[in-house]
A and B are shown apart, each in its own frame.
Chain A
């Protein structure tokens, strides 16, 4: 009983946090009758006749005892609850998580897309919307606001209206919330620092010295495997894997206007002075501090992961919790078995910008985009489904499940997710961490960091808390600039991304004396291949809305 009580209390706390819920008023009866709704005995809006919808579910495969993404205890619970509450019959349609953008594209093109779609790619939605292939949600969310209290309450005005076009008023997608706005972390082998008697680096110079110390002491650190030493590891996706270093080279005085005008690329390579960060990497590469083969291995290749797991790598920049993920199969888990329990990854706060700040460029608190394709003939039922899945209580249940089955409550009051680990109920296994694939209107656990940190199996929670804080320190969160569609961006994401990676990789491996010519030629080509048009259009859009202003309120 206690566990339910705890859950209930937590849920109530959540609900009170989002007091938007209180603004819900009862919808008038004419509206209900027109929509085919009635008020059920529990006060929920029910369809008088059963409606049927299909919902997209990310599928992450069946490794490690996982259940089919579209048919398991959780989906059964959602199905039964939605049927009971709203009289809607839900069917789930699995879509591969790692190629979701391509897959949803194919499904949309074939007219087979689920009624409720989820994707990370807004340009894909925009493109289909331009062809008339997406439902305009503007009218629905406004007209039926009273019927959708959880949707409005949970997402709030910011996320619901984020994509509303300021000129045409169209609304093609709802932006999910991002519970944890962490992005990148810089990590160093803690045990190597200790072995060499080094402190955690607090400046680029110290960091460089540390890398050189790793290189020069390979015998001591790796013994017979000394030739496998990689002081700093990166991948072909240099933009992601040098983010913190690069952010330190961007002038702190960069205006909001510049951030927007040069903000098309999500790795921020168009920001001023980015080139100098890559020059630094070029120096390191030519000094033998960087893994020499990094550019040869493509997306999804595990060669680098395996080197990190085997313990050959001294430092890296990656997703903020990358070293702590995946329990025994992750970076830390493998390090513990292959090197020893003392081997660990610790996050460091190293790269200072010209204002002395440990600057990071963080995303706006938006995440996946939920939209209804044009083939959807049950838009209201679909929105009611989104309303159900945005109910704080339901989110809590999906993320944490039941005590003893999916989570434990620790002494400090934190919830520890134990899904898939010893002591959990295998039937209640979560296919994605905290079931984020089912809670499509939020990504991440909406709880204090202690609960998040407790969820990483086999990892010292203090390390996770440290990484979390480091990832947010001196963060600059992008601000929303409502310009409507930037037409020149259509279809450019993929070719420019490809160009970006080619440009960065080739600049890093160039001879130091060739660096400028390699970079300048590639940069000119990057601009000529569409980036300049995007910059120009963004600039014009900014000036038409904000005029002379360079900063947003």
Chain B
């Protein structure tokens, strides 16, 4: 009854009020959207104006528009950063640690996903998967304490065991290059299980008929992995790779900050920790903003470049 009664009413409305009808019908959905939009506007777009702090003399009592311009046409703090040896080291270390993370850490979840996928016992697979992603929920502060308990040169469990067995101890945390290896290893340990989830999900999305067809054609386990599973995962891998490349100059703060110590400062000081000690802790907010801005710009360049390359190679990119 209702629908028949309403239908003509809609029809007699002039065309120009179509938007009105549309809004009348869907306004609740837009209302729902309003909150997230407001969130993005207030917390992500409005603060963009504060990027100007990088070019101005920061002053707590003034708004960003009233602050004085920095010297050298506003580039004072960029010049200050780039003439600082610690900053150059921080950039180098950030790129180095992220590259190593990428090389060693990116394939790890793919491998684990493939391994898990081949497991015939569902229960065992479930348990392994759960155990593997548990470290993801540990904060880096906790992991760093675990690392000290395990890897410290004299009091660490691993080194005590090595000494007990008559081997030399390994300076996991107190020699720069060993520390880098420990850093990368702990990164993989913490994130591999979690990152596997997305690949496992992608694997479930692969058409089972492809596997059946491959079996009929006489493909074995490895053939199926190489010719069915991996090609099926390719779009996911590419998207995640692009995102990882976009973060090549980005840096976690808590991971290097928690794991570092005074001895390995030459390789552990990254941009985020530099911003903290030289910028925020010293109330050099302009310097901190300048460095942050530089970091963001480089990240965007990397992201766009990686995306373009992926598209050239015939993959669907992000944009």
Contacts and interface: CB of A to CB of B under 8 A. Distances in A.
A236 B155 contact: no
Given A132-B61, A298-B261, A493 B282 contact: yes
A296 B61 contact: no
A102 interface: yes
Interface stretch (A44-52, A209-217, A319-327, A495-503): A495-503
Nearest to B260: A298
A502 B85 contact: no
A494 B277 contact: yes
B262 A495 contact: no
Contacts of B59: 131-132
B60 A131 contact: yes
Contact of B60 (A133, A236, A295, A298): A133
A524 to B, nearest CB: 10
A137 interface: no
A374 B173 contact: no
A374 B62 CA distance: 13
Contacts of A255: none
B308 interface: no
B284 interface: yes
Contact of A295 (B262, B277, B287): B262
Contacts of A529: 84-86
A291 B62 CA distance: 50
A282 to B, nearest CB: 14
A364 to B, nearest CB: 24
Interface residues of B, number: 26
B50 interface: no
B60 A296 contact: no
A501 B60 CA distance: 30
A491 interface: yes
A131 B61 contact: yes
Nearest to B83: A528
A105 B152 contact: no
B148 A128 contact: no
Contacts of B152: 293, 296
B60 A108 contact: yes
B153 interface: yes
Given A296-B173, A491-B284, A493-B282, A502 B265 contact: yes
B61 A494 contact: no
A183 to B, nearest CB: 23
A490 to B, nearest CB: 8
27 contacts: A108-B60, A109-B60, A128-B60, A131-B59, A131-B61, A132-B59, A132-B61, A236-B262, A291-B154, A292-B154, A293-B154, A293-B174, A295-B263, A296-B152, A296-B153, A297-B261, A303-B155, A491-B283, A492-B282, A494-B278, A494-B281, A495-B282, A498-B265, A506-B262, A506-B263, A509-B174, A509-B263
Top 4 A-B pairs, shortest CB-CB distance:
A491-B282, A505-B262, A494-B281, A494-B282
